[in-house]
Amino acid sequence: MDLRLQDRKAIITGGGSGIGAAICRRFAEEGANLTILDRDEDAGQDVANALGGQFIHCDVADEQSVTDAFRQLDGPPPSILVNNAGIAHVGEIATTSPEDFDRVMRVNVRGPYLCSRAALPLMLGHGKGSILNISSVAAQVGIADRLAYSTSKGAVYSMTLSIARDYVKRGIRCNCLCPARVHTPFVDNYLKENYPGKEAAMFSELEATQPIGRMAKPDEIAALAAYVCSEEAAFVTGAAFDIDGGFTLLK
């Protein structure tokens, strides 16, 4: 594998599991110097130990926690930030409480805002940086019973465009990925909790919503993330990459 990220400092939020862990593995394979930020100390530390990276406990929705985390960074200043940490919520507007709505927005929108705000001065200090936000096809397509989640990912999409425009003259690139359903432990746990005894049937139903006939694999998202954050994509900024098995073809 090409070492496209050789010796580049990369911060990945929510790197302890799922898509975040897959991004960490791929970045490590491509030579990156990793720092993992996660609320789950055991999971985050396990990934860091396995890949030889740094783990810092961090609640991305909390300003002081983010400030403290960035003060603990070791090694060179970061040139890559992947805002991956996020949470989901099931419900239409009538069944989404203000508390649920605020909780999703705090993690999914305030988190990327706080982490980008903390990373940008460090990137500007050496004149180069790449911020990658994990948005979703939910930012572009109406998905039933996902009011808060869709709203948050639409905000992440717009935040990406704003950062890209504001910093394009200062050496900072900002892009986002818009995955459809990805097979992570979250999906398995969701089916187990909500459809006991019917997990296999419901899994097949979820897979069928992608025209390609299956969910994405975390490693597929990670492969695209590595390209977008590498110098091979040096001409790419303000872009949203659909990686959705044809899901947006149904718009």
- CATH fold, domain 9-180+218-242, is Rossmann fold (3.40.50)
Kindly list the domain boundaries of the chain, sorted by start residue: 9-180+218-242, 182-215
The pLDDT profile of the chain, 251 residues, written as one tens digit per residue, is: 679 999 899 999 999 999 999 999 999 999 999 999 999 999 999 999 999 999 999 999 999 999 999 999 998 999 999 999 999 998 999 999 999 999 999 999 999 999 999 999 999 998 999 999 999 999 999 889 999 999 999 999 999 999 999 999 999 999 999 999 999 888 888 788 878 999 999 899 889 888 999 999 999 999 999 999 999 999 999 999 999 999 988 76
Who's near 206: CB < 8 A, 6+ residues apart? 181, 187, 215
| 63 class by beta-carbon count within 10 Å (0-12 exposed, 13-18 middle, 19+ buried) | middle
Residues carrying an active site annotation: 149
